[in-house]
Amino acid sequence: MEKAVLVRFTLITVILGVVPIMGYSIFNVTSLRKTLFVKNEYDKIARPMRDQSNATSVHVSLNIFVIYDVDEVTQTLKVSGSLLLNWVDENLMWEPDDFGGITTGVYPQEYVWKPGIALKNTIDDFKTLGDPTLNVIVSNQGIVTWEPFHVSYLLC
């Protein structure tokens, strides 16, 4: 029964994990990146709201890929999974017509503001979620999607 649940999680993740890749000219892609991050002087430390008195809503979902081990004696669990996070960054919005119709950009995660997220019940030493080489997906409406993955030993 546990294997059936594991397969079901894996299939859902594969179906939802597909990201369409569009082709645009290098000029438009470069122009958009420079406009967002250089010309507009993007500040990844400041919360992504123009009015800093407004809250930033972050939507989070957990995808579990594999349950490697469950140890009842030590009450630990080893899992592989990812968090799917979405939020609106008001400083990363653009008009697609100004950039050759580009509606989505893919950028290194280090370029943008990200919420501070940590696993509190991990047995491992504290590590930043995900791999530093991961990218974020940004829509022209400012919707940022970040999916850091992690293998963790958790305390139940």
Residue 120: how many other CB atoms lie within 10 Å:
7
Task: Show me where the domains of the chain are located.
Answer: 2-155
- What's the pLDDT score for residue 108? 94
CB 16 within 8 A of CB 62: no
> Which residue, 50, 31, 51, 54, is CA-closest to 42?
50
Q: Work out the widest C-alpha separation in the chain, in whole angstroms.
A: 60
* Architecture field, domain 2-155: Distorted Sandwich (2.70)
- What's the pLDDT score for residue 94? 97
- What's the pLDDT score for residue 3? 44
- What's the pLDDT score for residue 116? 84
Could you list the mean pLDDT of each consecutive 10-residue stretch along the chain, which spans 156 residues? 42 48 80 94 93 93 86 83 92 96 95 84 65 90 92 71
